[in-house]
Chain A
Amino acid sequence: MSAEASIQPDEAQSGPQPLVEFRNVHAGYEGIEVLHGVDLRVNPGQVVAILGPNGAGKSTTLKLLAGLIQPTSGDIMVAGRRVNGARPDELARLGLCLIPEGRGIFRNLTVRENLWMMTHRGVGRSQIEERSLAAFPQLKDMLDRVSGTLSGGQQQMLAMARGLATDPALLVLDELSMGLAPLVVDGLYSTVREVADQGTSILLVEQFARIVMDVADSASLMVQGHITESGHPRDIEAKLSQAYLGG
């Protein structure tokens, strides 16, 4: 994806209708505010990364988008419609696919059964298997294994395969690299790259800018519940170390 697709300051105001837009979103847990007025925009076909240290509110942002928690104020717009209060299962059925931190697979089910869980969009089991194995052929030999016994990388592959099998309109990835070896992370991100090249919009969260450098068109730096910087991941990387050190 070219740099042309990245968010420019003036484009953020005019441009095409964004697929996702956060407008001054505030949210928190048990009365404690975590996000203090987040503004974010993902255009169709764009890959946007949210970078930042632990506890910045990155995962909370994704949970809000997926409908897992509700904002206390502000608007969450998806495909031009305000979706505050939308049920997470409804959003998932329409094609907003969240791959959460910790993979979100059913560890007590086999790989095959995990894949079958993704028939909620009316796609048959065989088709789901076919699509998943096309993206991750390595899973073919593991179809009857209990997914909890897979390695971290294989579990993440399964989570990705499940997501991709539903033909998502928007793929939302939360810390894909967490706890995985760099080689495995590279492999997973090359798949993300392929998915992005097919035109799927992706919003992803990572702690390290270097990982998303070749994938993201645009990045936003989140610190203590605020988006402090937006731009190309390369520009954000320099500011990320300051954010980690609290500078």
Chain B
Amino acid sequence: MPDNSQRIEEFTKEVAQMNLPDNRSSRDRLFLIAGASLMGLGIVVTVLAYFIGHGTTNPLQQRDAIVIALIGLTLAVVGAALFVRYSLAQFLRFWLARSSWEQTTQTDRLIDALRTDR
């Protein structure tokens, strides 16, 4: 048998250096859940801040409520960004696969039609 050991050696070395993204999908999912949770939490905090500010005539408490509302708003914006980032990535992957599949199907139909015409 011819010696193919150099190629095998190269392959072994590259496999050893390969970056295994085994936790990637679970990390994506974690960020997606964290994004949705932050978004919900931010909205709740902002609404609570409104009621705090609305329920008092003390300007100091009202200013505190404004600060709390801003924190809530920030949480909601950061959460929305995370959610969009990770849900959009999933959607785009799906869209790309679907687009590729549709194009292939269309070509197959075209080829079949051309063959039938002959």
Partners in one complex: yes
A interface residue numbers (CB < 8 A to B): 1-2, 5, 19, 44-45, 78-81, 83-87, 90-91, 94-95, 106-108, 146, 148-149, 167, 169-170, 197-201
Is B94 among interface residues, defined by CB-CB distance under 8 A?
Answer: no
State whether A1 and B1 are in contact (beta carbons under 8 Å apart), knowing that A108-B107, A167-B7 are contacts in the complex: yes
Is B22 among interface residues, defined by CB-CB distance under 8 A?
Answer: yes
Are B20 and A85 in touch, CB under 8 angstroms? yes
Are A83 and B20 in touch, CB under 8 angstroms? yes
Question: Which residue of chain B has its CB nearest to the CB of A44?
Answer: B8
Q: Which of B2, B15, B103, B106 contacts A197 (CB 8 A)?
A: B2
Q: List 17 A-B contacts (CB under 8 A).
A: A19-B8, A45-B1, A86-B20, A86-B22, A87-B21, A90-B18, A90-B19, A94-B15, A95-B14, A107-B108, A108-B104, A108-B106, A167-B7, A169-B7, A169-B10, A199-B3, A199-B4
- A-chain residues with CB within 8 Å of residue B16 when the two chains form the complex: 79-81
State whether A169 and B1 are in contact (beta carbons under 8 Å apart), knowing that A85-B21, A108-B103, A108-B104 are contacts in the complex: no
- A-chain residues with CB within 8 Å of residue B18 when the two chains form the complex: 81, 83, 86, 90-91, 94
Q: How far is the CA of A31 from the CA of B103 in the complex (A)?
A: 30
* Chain B interface residue number, banded: 20 to 34
Is B89 among interface residues, defined by CB-CB distance under 8 A?
Answer: no
Question: Which residue of chain A has its CB nearest to the CB of B16?
Answer: A81
Secondary structure call for the A interface: loop
Extra pairs beyond A19-B11, A86-B20, A199-B3 (13, CB < 8 Å):
A44-B4, A45-B1, A85-B21, A86-B22, A90-B18, A90-B19, A95-B7, A108-B104, A148-B107, A197-B2, A198-B2, A199-B7, A200-B4
- A-chain residues with CB within 8 Å of residue B12 when the two chains form the complex: 79-80
State whether A146 and B111 are in contact (beta carbons under 8 Å apart), knowing that A44-B8, A199-B3 are contacts in the complex: yes
Are B103 and A85 in touch, CB under 8 angstroms? no
CB B69 to nearest CB in A, in angstroms, measures 43
CB B77 to nearest CB in A, in angstroms, measures 32
Are A169 and B8 in touch, CB under 8 angstroms? yes
Is B58 among interface residues, defined by CB-CB distance under 8 A?
Answer: no
Question: Which residue of chain A has its CB nearest to the CB of B111?
Answer: A148
Is B5 among interface residues, defined by CB-CB distance under 8 A?
Answer: yes
Pick the most buried of B7, B16, B21, B103: most chain A CB atoms within 10 A of its CB.
Answer: B7
Are B2 and A199 in touch, CB under 8 angstroms? yes
CB A95 to nearest CB in B, in angstroms, measures 5
Q: How far is the CA of A65 from the CA of B91 in the complex (A)?
A: 27
Are A107 and B2 in touch, CB under 8 angstroms? no
Q: Which of A87, A95, A199 contacts B11 (CB 8 A)?
A: A95
Question: Which residue of chain B has its CB nearest to the CB of A77?
Answer: B15
Q: How far is the CA of A79 from the CA of B14 in the complex (A)?
A: 9
Q: How far is the CA of A5 from the CA of B1 in the complex (A)?
A: 9
- B-chain residues with CB within 8 Å of residue A45 when the two chains form the complex: 1, 4, 8
Are B111 and A83 in touch, CB under 8 angstroms? no
- A-chain residues with CB within 8 Å of residue B114 when the two chains form the complex: 149
Are A199 and B1 in touch, CB under 8 angstroms? yes
Q: How far is the CA of A94 from the CA of B7 in the complex (A)?
A: 11
